[in-house]
Structure 1
Amino acid sequence: MSSFKVSSDSLRSTIQWGAVLIVAIMPFHAFLSVWLGSLFGHQAAWQSWKELLTLILVSLTVWYVYKNPGVLQRWRQPLWYAVAGFVAIATLVTLAAWPGATAAVFGAKTDLEPLVVAAIAAVVADPKLVQRLVKVLLATSAIVVTLALLQVYILPKEFLSGFGYSSSTITPYMLVDPALPAIRAFATLGGALQLGSFLLLPLALVAALMIRQFRWWQPIMLLATGMALWHTHSRAAWIGAIVAIGVIVILRLPSRWRLPSALIGIVTAAIGLNILISLSSSSSTLQYYLFHGSIKATGYQTSTELHGLAIQTGQQELLRQPLGQGLGTAGPASYHTDRPLIPESQYLQIGIETGFVGLALFLIIQIILALQLLKRHEHSPLATALVSSLAGIAVLNLALHGWADSSTALVYWAMAGAYIGAES
Structure 2
Amino acid sequence: MKEEPQDIKNQKVASWLLGACLLIIILMPFHGFISTWLGSNFGYLLLFKAWKELLLVSIVAACVYLLSSDKSLRRYLFSKDKKNLIILIGIFITWQIMSAIVGGQNAKAVALGLAIQVRWGLFFICCLIAVYYRRLSQSYIQKLVLIPAFIVVGFGLLQMFILPHDFLTHFGYQKNITIPPFFTIDEQLDQIRIASTLRGPNPLGVYLILPITFLISHFSFLIRKKSRSNNIPYFIFLISTLVVLYGSHSRGAWLGMIMAVGVMLVLWLPARFRILLISVGLGLVLLASAGIYQYKNTDFVQDVVLHDNPEEGGEVSSNEGHVDSIKSGIKNVVSRPLIGCGVGCAGPASFHNKNGAKISENYFIQTAEESGLVGSMLLFAIFVMVGYILLQQSKNNSMLVPLLASFIGVSVASLTAHAWADDTIVYVWWGIAGFVMYNKTNNEQKNDKNKEKIKVSIKKTITSKS
* Coarse TM-score class (shorter-chain normalised): over 0.9
| Aligned-partner Cα distance in 1 for 2:10–2:69 | 7
**1:257 positional shift:** 3.2
**How does 1:296-335 map onto structure 2 within 5 Å?**
300-323=315-338, 324-335=340-351
Name the counterpart of 2:303: 288
| 1:56 Cα deviation after fit | 0.6
How far, CA to CA, are the matches of 2:104 and 2:279 in structure 1?
Answer: 45
Q: In 2, distance between residues paired with 1:223 and 1:8?
A: 44
Counterpart check, 1:236 vs 2:252: yes
The corresponding residue for 1:386 is 403
* 2:372 paired with 1:355: yes
Q: Which amino acid aligns with 2:434?
A: G
Q: Secondary structure at the match of 1:29?
A: helix
Which residue of structure 2 lines up, in the alignment, with residue 193 of structure 1? 202
Contact 2:420 2:426 in 1 (8 A): yes
What is the CA–CA distance in structure 1 between the aligned matches of 2:235 and 2:426, rounded to whole Å?
26
- The 1-side partners of 2:46 and 2:313 are apart by 39
Q: Percent identity?
A: 29
The answer for the alignment partner of 1:66 in structure 2 is 68
2:77 maps to what in 1?
75
Residue 401 and residue 298 in structure 1: after superposition, are their counterparts in 2 closer, same or farther (change >3 A)? closer
- Give the conservation status (yes or no) of the 8 Å contact 1:159–1:172: yes
What is the alpha-carbon distance in structure 2 between the residues aligned to residue 53 and residue 299 of structure 1?
42
Amino acid at match of 2:333: L
**2:116 aligned with 1:110, yes or no?**
yes
Say which SS state the counterpart of residue 399 (structure 2) adopts.
helix
Secondary structure, counterpart of 1:169 in structure 2: coil
Greater CA deviation, 127-136 or 345-354?
A: 127-136
Residue 262 of structure 1 aligns with which residue? 278
Deviation at 1:180, TM superposition (A): 5.5
Q: For 1:162, which of 158, 166, 170 is the aligned residue? A: 170
The structure-2 alpha-carbon separation of the partners of 1:300 and 1:229, relative to structure 1 and needing over 3 Å to count, comes to same
Match of 1:413 in 2: 430
Task: State the Cα distance separating 1:161 from its structure 2 match.
Answer: 1.2
Q: Which has the higher contact order (CA 8 A, sep 6+)?
A: 1
1:297 Cα offset (Å): 11
1:153 corresponds to which residue?
Answer: 161
- Residue from 108, 119, 138 that aligns with 2:146: 138
Residue 48 (structure 1) aligned with residue 50 (structure 2): yes
Gaps of at least 5 residues in structure 1 are: none
Provide the aligned C-alpha RMSD in A: 1.9
Verify the 8 A CA contact 1:27 1:189 in the aligned structure 2: yes
Of 158, 165, 180, which aligns to 1:171? 180
Amino acid at match of 2:180: T
Distance 2:76 2:290 in 1: 47
Does structure 2 retain, via aligned residues, the 8 Å contact 1:23–1:133?
no
Deviations 1:246-287 (A, max 9, x none): 111111111343355235413422441242133112x13320
The count of corresponding residues between Structure 1 and Structure 2 is 423
Amino acid at match of 1:47: K
Distance 1:18 1:270, change over 3 A: farther
Of 208-217 and 248-257, more deviation after overlay is shown by 208-217
Structure (1 or 2) with the larger CA radius of gyration: 2
Say if 2:186 and 2:313, in contact at 8 Å, map to a contact too: no
Q: CA deviation at 1:299?
A: 8.1
Find the aligned partners of 2:199 and 2:413 in 1 and give their Cα distance. Answer: 17
* Residue identity in the other structure for 1:42: Y
CA distance in 1, matches of 2:423, 2:414: 14
8 Å Cα contact 2:186-2:317 kept in structure 1: no
Tell me the residue number matched to 1:342: 359
Q: Which moved more, 1:153-162 or 1:402-411?
A: 153-162
CA-CA distance at 1:158 after TM superposition:
2.1
Structure 1's 8 and 392: CA in aligned 2 closer, same or farther, altered over 3 A?
same
CA contact (8 A) 2:205 2:248 kept: yes
- Pick one of 111, 115, 120 that aligns with 2:126: 120
Say if 2:257 and 2:409, in contact at 8 Å, map to a contact too.
Answer: yes
SS in 2 for 1:225: helix
Residue 416 (structure 2) pairs with residue 399 (structure 1):
yes
C-alpha distance in 1 between matches for 2:335 and 2:436: 39
Question: What is the letter of the counterpart of residue 402 of structure 2?
Answer: A
Q: Does 1:57 align with 2:59?
A: yes
- Is the CA contact 1:20–1:133 (under 8 Å) kept in the aligned structure 2? no
Q: What's the offset of the Cα at 1:308?
A: 0.3
In structure 2, the residue matched to 1:203 is 212
Seen in structure 2, the aligned counterparts of structure 1 residues 260 and 51 have a Cα distance that, compared at 3 Å, is same
TM-score normalised per structure 2: 0.86
CA shift for structure 1 position 24: 0.5
The 8 Å contact of residues 393 and 400 in structure 2, kept in 1 or not, is answered as yes
Tell me by how many angstroms 1:288 deviates.
1.3
